[in-house]
Every structure is written in C-alpha cells, then in structure tokens.
Amino acid sequence: MRKLNYVWRLLMTGVAFSLFSIGGLMITLLACPVIRLLPGDANRRRERTQWLIHKLFGVFVGFMCTVGIMRLHLKNADALAEARGALVLANHPTLIDVVVMISLMPRSDCVVKGALWNSPFLGGVVRAAGYISNAKSSEELVESCVDALQQGGALVIFPEGTRTQPGAPMRFLRGAAHIALGCEQPILPVVLSCDPPTLSKGRPWYDIPPRRFEYRLEVKSPLSVSDLIEPDLPGTLAVRRLTVALENHFALELAACGQSAH
C-alpha cells in the first residue's frame, strides 16, 4: 500500500504541475481578453485578474489536498483575506508558498521573477495582474512596491529572495526593509512550514517525500517598523538593523512553532 500511495502521489504531483502550466496559458489566451473587454479602467482590470488568480489558486490547492499530495493547516488565515495596504512578509520553504498565500487573498500584489514575464504559460497572467518584476533596478523595484501598497493592496514579499534549502540558515535580503521603511505601512508576518520538506530549492517536482506533506500557514500579529528598530536612524543603518530584526523575529516565530530556522 505504501508503494501504491507513493506512485499515486507522484502521478498526481505531475498532473498538478501540468494543470498549473495549462491553466496559466488558458488564462492568458481566454480570460485576459475577456477581462480587457469588460468596463472599467486599468486598475479595475488588474483587480479582476488578481481575483481570478486567487480563485484558481484556491482550486489548485484544493486539488492537491483532495488527491492526497498535501494536508493544509491554517491559523488566523482570515487576516490575509482582510489585508489591505499591508506588507505581507513570509519565509519561503517551498515552491508553492505564493500559491497557497494568494489562494487566501482576493486582492494582492507580489514580486515575481523576471523570467516569468516572458513565459509562454504565465507571462500574460503576471502582466495582466500587475505583479512586479524583480528584473527592475533596486530603486525601481522599491518604488513600484511602495506605489502598490499606497494604492491599498497587500504586497506579498519573501525577504529571503529565494526558497530556503533545508538545513541552511535563513538569510534575509535588504529589499523588504527598504520597502517597509519607504511605505510606513503595517507589516504582516506569515510563518510557513512544510513537513516532510518538499519542493524546496534545488529539489525537482518528482522528488516527493515518502508520505503526504503537512503544510502549515500561520498569520502572526501585525508589526510596525517602530516595533523593531529605534526611530531616526540614518538610512543605511536603519535598513541593516531592520533586516536583522525581521530575520530574528521570523527565527523566533519559527522556533515557537517547533520549526528550525537552520
């Protein structure tokens, strides 16, 4: 039975990845043209696209749970659905982190890899949703993120910049601190964990764990910059100290959840 279960989960994982790519292409070819024809300005079209992605990601997550690939555990997830104008920061253990988070957020912006911008499957989707490419210069990227927050949407950022390798220390880049200092919006920490580890950095989709993985998402209490560092620090020092403070905060939260930051 264990062997049969493994083969089933491997097959369903392949189906899930195929559906994800095909779904992205269908949105680009079919849904986006329809949204462009509906009344409303560019911002309204962007919101509709984000809502559609939110719903389809929910279907995708539901599929993975139904067929036995994963089991999802949520705590205080309503805070994500209600987030407005908040900088949503999360650690990044797996490939599906952004999928799970956006499935809970009807309206959200996020920073995506520049390579996705020209993807035949997902390029049209990320452009229509108004997501932000990380191929921009650092100054342009921070400015775009601050603008998105000031428009009232929630912005999802993974401060590590890439998925954490199991067993490796968690290291935050300074981009999230630059954005937090530039927008003066609340910070909403989200702690993610996956047991057994899967879909982590450098691990192909077919390298599945020996059993269904338990995926946990917990939204923590909002923070402000003043909760983490002293006021009136010079710019470079403020960025450096805020980065360290955020990294330490997540390490403590992960430890409290029974997860290691290393």
User: What are the tens digits of pLDDT across the range 175-198?
Assistant: 999 999 988 789 999 999 999 999
| pLDDT given for residue 41 in this prediction | 87
In this structure, how many other beta carbons lie within 10 angstroms of the beta carbon of residue 21? 13
**Strand pairing category for 213-219 and 187-195:** antiparallel
pLDDT classification of 259: cutoffs 50, 70, 90? low
For 207-227, b where at least 16 C-beta lie within 10 A, e where not — what string?
A: ebbeebbebbbbbbeebebee
| pLDDT given for residue 221 in this prediction | 93
| pLDDT given for residue 246 in this prediction | 95
- Whole-number Å distance between alpha carbons of 7 and 19: 18
∠255-257-260 over CA atoms, to 5°?
40
Question: CA distances (Å), 136 to each of 10, 46, 113, in order?
Answer: 37, 20, 10
> Rounded to two decimals, what is the model's pTM?
0.91
CATH 3.40.50 fits 1-257, yes or no: no
Task: Name residue 193's beta-bridge partners.
Answer: 216
pLDDT classification of 258: cutoffs 50, 70, 90? low
Tokens for 79? 């805070």
Domain extents in the chain? 1-257
Which percentage of the chain shows pLDDT scores above 90? 57
| pLDDT given for residue 4 in this prediction | 94
Tell me the mean pLDDT in the region 103-116: 89
Mean residue pLDDT of the chain comes to 90
